[in-house]
Structure 1
Amino acid sequence: MTAPWKMGTGDEKLGQSTQRTLVLSVVMVGFLAALASVYEYYHLTAMDRLDGYTQTIIPILAVVLAVIVSGVLVSKGRFLKPAVWLVFALGSTHLLTTITLALLFANDVALAAEHAVWIMAVQVCLFATLERRTALGMSAALFVLLAAICLTYCYVENVSLIADVRGGFLVQLIIANGAILVLLGGLSAFREVALVEKTRAEASEVHATLLGASAEVANDERKKAMIALSSAEAAAKARESFLASMSHELRTPLNAIIGFSQILEMGDEGMVTSPEKQREYISDIKHSGEHMLSLVTQILEYSRIESEGVEVDKTPQAIAMIADASLRMVDVLARAKDINLVRSWDFGDDYVVRTDDKALSQILVNLLSNAVKFTPVGGTITVNIARTRNGAVTIEVCDTGVGISAEKIKLVCDPFYQVRDQQTAGMSGTGLGLSIVKTLITALNGVLEIESTVGEGTCCRVKIPSTPDTELVVEKTEEQAAALAQKLRANASPTDAEVFQHREIRQT
């Protein structure tokens, strides 16, 4: 149980301070009452007026009062109300008994008045510590008993309430006690009203706070719902655009395959009779099929990543060999557009880091394919690889292509998103390449940064943390290069596999 003397903050601190002051006040009254009892004992002894009752009761009462107030003080007010009840019972009984003995048996109005004053102190303690109705009832009982004793004395001793000084003194004493009772009742009622108003104000404040918090939570939830709705609408719109685009992308090579096949099926009776033209149509059929397979492969890869996630297996890998193999995979596409592929790194095949070779090669191939796709004829694509002191690897794929506007850069990694403007008109694709790249980079704990200027080109920067393995040395052998190329070929589409026929990469 928390002691009322423990300090708090705000209203709690104020309430604890008030209760502590009240406890100290009651304790001081108790000690003063005990001191008054001791004084009364020696005062009556000096005046040779000490009777048997006073001689026995006063020392006991003084000790009991001292013990009670000491207990309240030590307990820090925990037993304040029981102590007040006990003091009321003992004190009121002693005071009324002493007043009765002084008036009816000793005819001593002065001694009775001395003890009647302490009845007022008892009444104050009652109103300070108990509920108003309880304190009012007990104080009223004391007042009635005091008035009855005084009036009985006047009746028995035939004391005039008007003409006799003793009667006038007792009447004034009764009236004063009644005034104190009324005043304490009014103050107690005011205190209860103040407490009710304070409680009501606190409840209103708490209610307002809760309403504000609820409104804030509701507003946050509404914002989240709006964001989710916007995201869902954007995703739905992107999927619709993707389906429309894929419908066109898949129908175009299919129509070409079917059309050229029908022409060739006619044989010598058809429109094409020369072997050269037939070989040209067969080549067109082959390229259309490879293009369609490339689209389907990319869609299936994205679906696999979405459903199964990405699992990476970091093993010691030669970064230069992976980069060279990736460049060879896009070299045919680059040659077709007379694009110059430039490699730039200051280490050889002996530099080894721990990473996932399949994920890294797919990242590079996708970035290079995008660069070739959006770079005009005669452009340049540069691959820069740099090492950092902490073992991280930074890979940059920069092109001199059409570029991307600033407001569209943040969208290009979203699934199915494709830049639609004059510069990219006529360029096909699934809109999944960069989305797959970003997912793979995230799986490698890396970061993708894209810088672009419309009309000047784009630079994709991949930062992948990796710890160099200095104990491993990769020899530059044709067998290892062929093994890596074979591994990449196993995961490549037919169009990509064709690139391995061209092993010369142009350098500057």
Structure 2
Amino acid sequence: MAGQGQQVRMTMVDTSVTSDDERKRGTREIARSVYLVALLAMSAGLFEVARLIHTDKFTLSQIFTTLALVSVLCAYVFASWKGWIAKSASTVASVFFCVNICLNLYFFNALFLSDWPQVVIANMNWMTALMIVPFLTINRPQARFLAAVLCLSTLAQFAAYFIIHDIGPFDPFFGSEVIPFFISLGAAYVLLDGFAMFREAAIKFHARSDALQETANLMAKAAADAERAKTEAEKSIALRETFLATMSHELRTPLNAIIGFSDAMKSGVLEKRGVDHYRVYAEDIHQSGEHVLSLINQLLEYSRVRSGTYDLTTSTVSLQDVTEQVIRMSGHAADKRGVRLLRDWQVQQATMVVGDRHALVQIGLNLVMNAIKFSPAGEAVTVRIQEGRNGEAVLSVIDKGPGIPPDRMDDVKQPFVRAGDASLASETGTGLGLAIVSNLTEKMGARFDLASTRGEGTCAAIILPLDATRRGDAGTEDSTPEDRPEDRPKDSCRSAAS
């Protein structure tokens, strides 16, 4: 839970950073609009200069000063646009300050150098448009400061002009134009300040809302993960109980037989019955010991596979050679069970595959032993090698046992799950065989498929991918007619080969 809490805190920080990034990105977009407005303003200034030149109202020095200011402002806006001077909010503030200076110099030139106040009055509306910019783009304190500087500097120039020319507040011209304009400008300042306060509150609200939504999503995900972990834990507990129940029976039975037979031999009760009885008891002890050893080996093998300590050594091996070794190793068990092992090589040459030989032997042995265990006496288990439709190598083990119910096809690949009919007395073991096969094939990049019909048998197939398969020039000879009697299964494991 501490880890989940830390993750929630980190998500809230990340969300805050994301919201801040989005705000900065929006500021940059508005800044581009500001640059365009500044360019339009400079275009208007240039047009005004051209008009004044045409009417001979400006001196050459005044025209040069105005053009120089416009050129400097153009260069500054272009440099800010390219990111050569500053970025984001600081760029907007600096551009605004520069435009403010340019506008005030323009007003100063018109009021005190040219004595042409009508030009100033005609261009005062630019102040309102300019004052809107900082309140839309930068933080509220900076916007208030810059807008106040713009208003007060312009107001100071008009006040100085009124004093110098002894103009009263009720002058017909200025009283009807300048004073109402500055009153409306003050009202706009107050409204824009309120809008900026609302904008910052909205940004904070959305940031908190996004953070809460992200936190809620994370908590929902954590709850789902906890539920999934709970399910996995319950499943692990059930598997452990199944394992203990299975092992308590599978180990106790042969160990009790070993102890009972050895006690009988040690006590001497068999001396009167002769050597043959000793031999029978010794054989039973040997078989019980082999059974216990096979259980332990299977448990250790599965533990190695699941823990990741099962190291695969890739090499080129003959699938026929591997299968022959598996048949030899399982021949004794098949004879005891009364089951025939049949070879069915449906290829003309040795099938060379790239994989781990020990893992392939382990896979084949588990499949064949499992098929033998669930095959009735007198039936046959067919080991088939064939080529799939896409060129894969397919190793199939086909039996005529009781089959697997359709609703258990996925379960039998899980550990400690038995595939056969529980009523069969011969069904013993750990239930790990198919789980080992499934894990080993996955590690080798192969596929493990099952096809079964209830009451007719099961086909288990290992499919090696095309890029790990090639055909050899020599190898095990094709199976003889004795290896493939007429009563062997004719149909291939279609679901595996397709």
Same fold (TM over 0.5): yes
Give 3-state SS (helix, strand or coil) of 1:127's partner: helix
Deviations 1:104-148 (Å, cap 9, x if unpaired)? xxxxxxxx6535635735754763566332223223323433443
Deviation for aligned residue 1:12:
6.0
Contact 1:402 1:424 (C-alpha < 8 Å) held by counterparts: no
User: Which one is further off, 400-409 or 384-393?
Assistant: 384-393
1:231 corresponds in structure 2 to: 232
Question: What is the CA–CA distance in structure 1 between the aligned matches of 2:376 and 2:476, rounded to whole Å?
Answer: 37
SS of corresponding position for 1:93: helix
Within-5 A mapping of 1:311-326: 311-326=311-326
Matches of residues 56-75 of structure 1 in structure 2 within 5 Å?
58-75=59-76
Q: Cα gap change, 1:326/1:124 in structure 2, threshold over 3 Å: closer, same or farther?
A: closer
CA distance in 1, matches of 2:32, 2:328: 83
CA shift, 1:204, in A, is 2.9
CA separation of 1:235/1:123 partners in 2, compared to 1, >3 Å: closer, same or farther? closer
Asked if structure 2 preserves the Cα contact closer than 8 Å seen for 1:390 and 1:467, the reply is no
**Do the aligned partners of residues 260 and 122 (structure 1) sit closer, same or farther apart at CA in structure 2, a change above 3 Å counting?**
closer
State the partner residue of 2:124: 120
8 Å CA contact retained: 1:331, 1:505: no
Instruction: State the SS of the aligned residue for 1:364.
Output: helix
CA distances 1:192-238 after superposition (whole Å, capped 9, x unpaired): 43344334334433432333233223322332333233223322321
Which stretch shows the higher mean deviation, 382-391 or 326-335? Answer: 382-391
Asked whether the equivalents of residues 33 and 65 of structure 1 are also in contact (C-alpha less than 8 Å), the reply is no
How far apart are the structure 2 equivalents of 1:153 and 1:98? Answer: 18
**Is residue 320–residue 347 contact of structure 1 (8 Å, CA) maintained in 2?**
no
Deviation at 1:13, TM superposition (A): 8.2
Pair 1:38-2:42 in alignment:
no
Shift of 1:82: 4.3
| Alpha-carbon distance in structure 1 between the residues aligned to 2:103 and 2:348 | 100
Amino acid across the alignment from 1:467: T
Who is 1:141 aligned against?
156
Report the CA distance between 1:369 and its aligned residue: 0.7
- 1:283-362 to structure 2, matched below 5 A, reads 283-307=283-307, 309-347=309-347, 350-362=350-362
- Is the CA contact (8 Å cut-off) linking 1:320 and 1:348 kept in structure 2? no
Structure having the higher Rg: 1
How far apart are residue 415 of structure 1 and its match?
3.0
Following the alignment from structure 1 to structure 2, what is the Cα–Cα distance between the partners of residues 12 and 85? 20
1:312-360 deviation digits (Å, cap 9, x = unpaired): 3343433223223322332333333333433222236744444433221
- Cα 1:223–1:235, aligned 2, differ >3 Å: closer, same or farther? same
Contact persistence 1:352–1:473 (CA under 8 A):
no
Q: Which residue of 2 aligns with 1:215?
A: 216
Partner of 1:489: none
Q: Does 1:22 align with 2:37?
A: yes
| Local SS of the residue matching 1:403 | coil
Asked if the contact 2:340/2:380 (under 8 Å) is kept, the reply is yes
Partner residue of 1:265? 266
Deviation at 1:278, TM superposition (A): 4.0
Q: Distance in 1 between matches of 2:119 and 2:352?
A: 103
Distance 1:35 1:190, change over 3 A: farther
Instruction: Give distance in 1, aligned partners of 2:368 and 2:388.
Output: 23
Maintained 8 Å contact 1:242/1:416: yes
Per-residue Cα deviation, 1:70-102 (whole angstroms, up to 9, x for no partner): 333344364633433433443343344258xx6
Give 1:365 deviation, angstroms.
0.9
CA distance in 2, matches of 1:275, 1:138: 125
Q: Which amino acid aligns with 1:70?
A: S
User: Structure 1 unaligned runs (5+)?
Assistant: 1-7, 44-53, 103-111, 155-160, 162-167, 477-503
Residue aligning to 1:250: 251
Letter in 2 for 1:334: A
**2:108–2:157: 8 Å Cα contact kept in structure 1?**
no
- Over 3 Å counting, the alpha-carbon distance change for 1:356 and 1:125 in structure 2 is closer
How far the C-alpha of 1:420 sits from its partner, in A, is: 8.3
Give CA-to-partner distance per residue, 1:391-432, whole Å, 9 cap, x none: 631111122222223343223233333458644676221122
Change (3 A) 1:95 1:227: same
Of residues 465, 468, 491, the one that matches 2:470 is: 468
CA apart distance, 1:32: 4.1
1:362 to partner: Cα distance:
1.5
Count of residue pairs the alignment pairs up: 434
Q: Could you tell me the percent identity over the aligned residues? A: 27
Instruction: State which of 71, 90, 93 in structure 1 corresponds to 2:105.
Output: 90
Per the TM alignment, residue 252 of structure 1 is displaced from its structure 2 partner at its CA by 0.6
SS of structure 2 residue aligned to 1:397: strand
Contact 2:341-2:380 at 8 Å conserved across structures: yes
Moved more, 354-363 or 115-124: 115-124
Q: Quickly say closer, same or farther: Cα 1:17–1:89, change in 2 above 3 A.
A: closer
Partner of 2:432: 432
Partner Cα distance (1:330, 1:210) in 2 = 63
Structure 2 CA distance, aligned partners of 1:123 and 1:286?
Answer: 105
Asked if residue 241 in structure 1 is aligned to residue 242 in structure 2, the reply is yes
Contact persistence 1:354–1:469 (CA under 8 A): no
Tell whether the 8 Å contact from 2:342 to 2:381 is kept in structure 1 after alignment: yes
- Matched residues in 1 for 2:430 and 2:371: separation? 15
Indicate how the Cα distance of structure 1 residues 268 and 29 shifts in structure 2: closer, same or farther if over 3 A, else same. Answer: closer
Q: What code does the residue aligned with 1:252 have?
A: T
- State the distance in 1 between where 2:414 and 2:77 align: 67
Structure 1 residues 350, 411: closer, same or farther in 2, change over 3 A? closer
* Secondary structure at the counterpart of residue 470 of structure 2: coil
Alpha-carbon distance change, 453 to 204 in structure 1, aligned in 2, over 3 angstroms: farther
Distance in 2 between residues matched to 1:389 and 1:454, nearest whole Å: 26
Residues in 2 aligned to 1:475 and 1:328: alpha-carbon distance in whole angstroms: 15
1:449 paired residue number: 449
Measure, in 1, the Cα distance between the counterparts of 2:61 and 2:207.
51
Is the contact between residue 384 and residue 396 of structure 1 (CA under 8 Å) also seen in structure 2? yes
Q: Flag the 1:234–1:295 CA change in 2: closer, same or farther, 3 A.
A: same
Q: Which residue of 2 aligns with 1:51?
A: none
Which residue of structure 1 aligns with residue 147 of structure 2? Answer: 132
C-alpha contact (below 8 Å) 2:257/2:288 kept by paired residues = yes
